[in-house]
Structure 1
Amino acid sequence: MTDFRAYRSVLYLPAANARAVEKARTLAADAVILDLEDAVAADAKAGARAAAAEAVTAGGWGSRTLAIRVNGIGTQWCEADFQAVAAARPDAVVVPKVNSAAEAAEAVRLAGGVPVWAMIETPRGVQAVDAIADTPGVAALVVGAADLEKDLGCRVGPARGEIQYTLQRVVIAARAAGIRAFDAMYPDIKDMEGLETVTLQGRALGFDGKTLIHPAQIETANRVFSPSAAEVEQARRIVAAFEAAKAEGKGVATLDGKLVEVLHAAQARDLIAFAESIAAQ
C-alpha cells in the first residue's frame, strides 16, 4: 500500500444522534462511521438513514474518512441503506457480518462504487476471510469481536488469547490482498488501562487502527498507532545510512551494529511518510 492516510482511530457514532454527529466534526478521530445498524433501534432506522446521508452531503469533515455502516445483507433495511449510500457517496460503506466472498461481491454491487469495509464477526466470516479480502471493491476488513464472541460461546479475556487466531487471520488476509485492517472496538469506555493494553496489542499484530465507541478512546488509539519521535528519527538514520552505502556502491549498510538492507530502508521510508501525513492533517 502506498496510501499513507492515517486510520489510527475509527469512531462509531449512531447516525440518529445529531448532536454526536455534529461534535464528531471537531474530534481528532481519523475516521468516523455513521452507524445504521446496532446503535439504531428498528423504528428509528429510516430517520437515521436520512440523517447519515445528510451528514455526508453537508460536508465539513476535513481530512477525516467518513463511512456509513449499513444493516447487513438480507435484512429488511439493507436495500434502502445501500441506495442511500450509493446516492450520498461517503468514503466507504461498512457492511456487518460478511460471511462469504459472494456476500462481499453483493455488497460491492449494491454500494455502486463506494469502497466496502467488510466486517469479520462470525465463524463463517473467519473461515472465508481470505476470499472476502480478495473480492474486488473490498477496501478494508473490520474485526467485530462482540458478535464473534457470542457465536463462539467463548469469554474473551484481557489478553484476547481466545480470538488471537481471528485477529491474525484478518491481518494476514488484509495484507495479502493489499487492503486495510481495523481492530475490534473495546467495550468498556471507563477502562483506559484495558484499552491501552488491547490497542498496543493491535498495533503489534499489524492492524492499521482501532475501531472505537467513545470520543474518550481517540487519544489512546491516535497515540499508540502513531510513530514516536524516536521511531521517526531512527527511520531517518536508517535511510541516511542506506543511501550513504548505496552511494559507495554497496548493497547493504550497517547501523548501530545491525545490517540495513533494502527492505529496512523501504520500511523506514514508509514510516517517515506516514508520520508526515499525520503531521499534515
Structure 2
Amino acid sequence: MSLQPSHKPAIPRRSALYMPGANARALDKARTLDADCLLLDLEDAVAPDAKTQARGQICAALEAGGYGAREIVVRVNGLDTAWGHDDFAALAELAAQKDCAPNAILAPKISTAADIDAVCAHVPDGVALWIMIETPAAIFNLDALAARAGDTPLACFVMGTNDLAKEMQAALVPGRAPLQAALSLSVLAARRYGLCVLDGVFNDIADMAAFEAECRQGMEMGFDGKTLIHPSQLNPCNTVFAPDAAEIEHARDVVAAFDDPANAGQGVLKVNGKMTELLHLDIARQKLAIADAIAARSAAVTKEA
C-alpha cells in the first residue's frame, strides 16, 4: 500500500474500474460494485460509431447519480479527435447546470506540459484533472508534467501500460521488466509533486494468481492502486492495496510509542523489536489515515446497499 502525502486528506484509490460508456447496463451495475473509483470511459472502450451514444449515456448516468461514495472519473477522448471537444462541452454543461459533474476528468495521450495546459482550458471549475501516462514522450517529460500540479487541477497519473508497451514495441511479460523503469519514474515524479498515481491494467481476466502478483508488485513499487477491466478483479485488488491487520496494529504501536510522554524528544525508538525513526511515525500515521478512510468508505457503501 502506498502512502499519500500527509498534508492531503486520505482518499482510498485502491481500485479504479473502467466502465465502457456505450454499455448502459454496465453504468447501472457500477452503482453496486465495491470499487473505490469508477472510470467511465468514452475513449478506448468505445467504438467510433458509438461515441455520441456513450457520451449521452454517461451524462445521463451522472445526472441520475446513485454512485454514493465511489469516486467518479470520466475518461474523455483527446482534443485532437473528432469527439474530444464535445466530451468536454457535455461535462462542462453538467457541471454548470446540473451540479452533477464527475470528481475528475481523465485525459488520454498527455505527453507535454503544453498538453496539460490545453486540456485545462476545458476542465470545469471544481473538477480535478487526471492524465494518462502512456507515451514515450510522457516518460521523458514526467517531471514537467507532474510540476503542473502546482497551478492546475492536475491530481493523478494513470499508467496506460498497454499503450506504452505498444509504443515501445515491448512485450507484456510476467514481472513487467520492460516497463519497470517507466513505472518507477512515474511514481517518483508523482510523489515529488504530491500526486496520486495508479498502476495500469492486467489483461488476462482468468489468471487471478498472476493478477494478484501484479497488484502486489504495484503496491510494493508505491502505487496508490490499480486500474481494472473487470469486476472480478475488485476484491483481490482492494485487499492488496489496503493495510492488513498486522500493519495497522504495528502502526498504532508506533504512534503510541512516540506519543508516550516517557519518550518525549526521542528521535529513535525500538517498537516491536524494530528500530523506528520519526520517518516511520509519519508512515504509521499515513497508514492509519488510509485505513480509517477505507473503513469509512466501506461503511458508506454498506449503508447504501
TM-score, normalized by the shorter chain, greater than 0.5: yes
1:226 and 2:242 aligned:
yes
Residue 128 (1) aligns with residue 141 (2):
yes
TM-score by length of 1: 0.97
- Do 2:22 and 2:46's aligned partners in 1 also have CA atoms closer than 8 Å? yes
Given candidates 19, 23, 31, the residue that maps to 2:29 is 23
1:43-82 to 2 correspondences below 5 Å: 43-82=49-88
Q: Do the aligned partners of 1:246 and 1:252 also contact (CA within 8 Å) in 2?
A: no
The secondary structure found in structure 2 opposite 1:25 is helix
Distance in 1 (CA, whole Å) between partners of 2:17 and 2:213 is 18
For residue 126 of structure 1, report the CA deviation from its aligned partner: 1.0
Give runs of aligned pairs for residues 1-281 of structure 1, distance below 5 A. 1=5, 2-88=8-94, 89-113=101-125, 114-135=127-148, 136-244=152-260, 247-281=263-297
Q: Percent identity?
A: 44
Counterpart code for 1:207: F
2:167 match: secondary structure: helix
Contact 1:97 1:119 in 2 (8 A): yes
Q: Distance in 2 between matches of 1:251 and 1:59?
A: 49
- Larger RCO, structure (CA 8 Å, separation 6 or more): 2
Aligned 8 A contact 1:70 1:78 in 2: yes
TM-score (norm 2): 0.89
Aligned AA (1:158): P
Contact kept in structure 2, 1:33 and 1:66, CA below 8 Å? yes
- The answer as to whether partners of 1:132 and 1:138 remain within 8 angstroms in 2 is no
Structure 1 Cα separation of the partners of residues 192 and 264 of structure 2:
35
Kindly state the Cα deviation for residue 157 of structure 1 after the two structures are TM-superposed.
0.8
* CA distance in 2 between partners of 1:45 and 1:180 (Å): 28
Give the CA deviation at 1:257: 3.4
Alpha-carbon shift at residue 245 of structure 1 (Å): 5.6
3-state SS in 1 of match to 2:260: helix
Please state whether the residue corresponding to 2:121 is helix, strand or coil. helix
Deviation at 1:38, TM superposition (A): 0.9
Other structure's SS at 1:186 match:
coil
Amino acid at match of 2:67: W
The change in CA–CA distance for 1:105 and 1:246 in structure 2 (over 3 A counts) is farther
Unaligned runs of 5+ in 2: 95-100, 298-305
Given that 2:35 and 2:234 are in contact with CA atoms closer than 8 Å, whether structure 1 keeps it comes out as yes
| C-alpha distance after superposition, 1:20-74 (max 9, x if no partner) | 1111100000000110011111111111111111111211111100011001131
Report the RMSD for the aligned CA atoms in angstroms: 1.3
Which segments of 5 or more consecutive residues in structure 1 lack a partner in the other structure? none
**108-117 vs 177-186, greater mean Cα deviation:** 108-117
Q: CA deviation at 1:103?
A: 0.3
